[in-house]
Structure 1
């Protein structure tokens, strides 16, 4: 969804007395009053129900279960429209534990053939997450919500994202994997923390003497690409090791921006089992990293 930053800034000044800063405007909610009507119009233009055999994500870049739109009914109206006027399977991704509340569990159970639900969680440390993920449910609450959905028979997926390097300093990663209960998940997705324009904002959530603050400074402030490569590689190896031991490798989807992986670490990704390469040529599907392109070719030959 596109919007004018100038208009947003002016609206923020008019209503709040200050300009809009996406990194520091924790309590500011940007609402689009016509979003439901716009979706109705878009779906009305289709002569047949779209989406047969396809999946739509609700929602990938924003949280479709943000408290404000859950409370005012926007979330329910949008999902009802998708159920009634499309044939998409709906993949719900959220950080709001409300999806595990009795009313939402009943809703998803009623439409179990149309939904698969996941809660993004990258740590079991509520204190860590509270500093970083302001305005979201605590990881412990998200895990409980996921379990309620699973126990009710609602299709679910695990979303270990993003897993910060501090999680790899102990057995927290393995405990996190166990917490999402892969045996009940259709897929287990995971992703390392990737370079983003707001890394300084993320870093400033932590004490200057903390492991995470120091790591973010070295990797993004000082440009230590090798350290990020080692971290992303270690994360994959730890997850695939558990997946192999527990026999759910077919469920793993590890999102990897492989252009940042050093040549010396490429062999550690073996046959790319469970890896979804993100730095690929859209026309050919081949990685822009020559070393990973070689792995792709070997993997194809092995399958053939």
Structure 2
């Protein structure tokens, strides 16, 4: 596949835009990822903005981030999916201020009556009692430890974590219980907690996956506007590795015709920074995400919109999304096979390990064991 840069065409309507009536003015959503705010799919009433000629012309107000403080009843989420390496996870926040337009978790916002579009990145929920809930669940009679995945749906180190510090509280509980955890983030804020993480890593209780989607800061700013600069993520890999914390780099997602040309260069940079493992996810477009990404492409890359979506469908059996286990992360067909082969060959050439770091769940301190410490 030839090395190429994405064409940065001037914003325009582009073909096949499908979110008319919910798109917000560019001035209003500056610094946000989604272009629109379509209604939540479970709501009976839907709204559509239009100009009736009576409104006084005013400068649109910038969208502000709103954080609702939530008291969670439980914090561990269980799953039985055979194609992911964990059966329990923690998400300290609902919604994510990073604003990644491609985020597969966006449709989850419909479950709280909010839009998977701009609401997902501006109307957030912080689970203030996450650490207390976790301690109670780990202390439950009969609890059996297995690695917890931290940050599977929304980023545990998104900007509001600087204030709320919920993720740090969760890590303190896990460290005290000597419970293994795998962290997924695209933020260099994770380095703040290197004191806890290094101590856990010395006991083989933690690994961190850093998502680096692109090395191009212009593309990154457009599709993940409030996530840290790619160089800051590389610096985070470097700092964690230097502290003895095992790091995996994830190229997620690979977007056909936008960042797929970067595979080899990106893998070389994360390997140089100290990542020992690497993985990827091919762009997933479940539910509302199909329209949201299409609308975003129509505004930012109208000349690529149809081509990108065509390649996605080629890798998804002709659909926007194929939820079949074993295929949903990487796709199928010739394009998907080409991406898999390039990724595999680049990893081998750069010396990435093919063996996943396996964390130790035998050190878990049950409540009775912890009381004995006193």
The 3-state SS of whatever aligns with 1:29 is strand
**1:143-197 deviation digits (Å, cap 9, x = unpaired):** 1211121123221111121111225664x21110011117943421212112322
The CA deviation at 1:92 is 0.9
Closer, same or farther: CA 221–133 of 1 in aligned 2, 3 Å: same
Closer, same or farther: CA 78–224 of 1 in aligned 2, 3 Å: closer
**Greater relative contact order (CA < 8 Å, ≥ 6 in sequence):** 2
Partner of 2:193: 104
* Residue 176 (structure 1) aligned with residue 266 (structure 2): yes
Partner of 2:128: 33
Q: Unaligned 5+ residue runs, structure 1?
A: 7-11, 254-304
The CA deviation at 1:224 is 7.4
Partner of 2:339: 235
User: Counterparts of 1:235 and 1:195 in 2: how far apart (Å)?
Assistant: 18
CA contact (8 A) 2:171 2:196 kept: no
Match of 2:161 among 64, 69, 85: 69
The 3-state SS of whatever aligns with 1:145 is helix
**1:21-44 deviation digits (Å, cap 9, x = unpaired):** 221123221223333332222122
Partner of 1:82: 174
CA contact (8 A) 1:186 1:251 kept: no
TM-score (norm 2): 0.54
CA contact (8 A) 1:203 1:216 kept: no
**1:238-276 deviation digits (Å, cap 9, x = unpaired):** 1111223344462489xxxxxxxxxxxxxxxxxxxxxxx
Partner of 1:20: 114
The 3-state SS of whatever aligns with 1:161 is strand
User: Counterparts of 2:117 and 2:130 in 1: how far apart (Å)?
Assistant: 24
The CA deviation at 1:129 is 1.9
Partner of 1:192: 282
Structure 1 segments, 4+ long, off by >4 Å, are 219-224
CA contact (8 A) 1:123 1:167 kept: no
TM-score (norm 1): 0.65
Partner of 1:291: none
Moved more, 123-132 or 63-72: 63-72
The 3-state SS of whatever aligns with 1:180 is helix
The CA deviation at 1:99 is 1.5
User: Counterparts of 2:118 and 2:206 in 1: how far apart (Å)?
Assistant: 34
CA contact (8 A) 1:243 1:252 kept: no
Q: Unaligned 5+ residue runs, structure 2?
A: 1-41, 44-64, 69-112, 320-330, 358-374
**1:78-111 deviation digits (Å, cap 9, x = unpaired):** 11111212x43211111111113xx423332232
Moved more, 28-37 or 244-253: 244-253
Closer, same or farther: CA 75–224 of 1 in aligned 2, 3 Å: closer
Partner of 2:152: 60
Closer, same or farther: CA 92–74 of 1 in aligned 2, 3 Å: same
Matches within 5 A, 1:199-214: 199-206=290-297, 207-211=300-304, 213-214=305-306
CA contact (8 A) 1:182 1:188 kept: no
Partner of 1:281: none
User: Counterparts of 2:285 and 2:249 in 1: how far apart (Å)?
Assistant: 23
CA RMSD of aligned residues (A): 3.4
Matches within 5 A, 1:197-276: 197=287, 198-206=289-297, 207-211=300-304, 213-219=305-311, 225=318, 229-248=333-352, 250-251=354-355
Closer, same or farther: CA 249–96 of 1 in aligned 2, 3 Å: closer
Closer, same or farther: CA 151–34 of 1 in aligned 2, 3 Å: closer
The 3-state SS of whatever aligns with 2:149 is strand
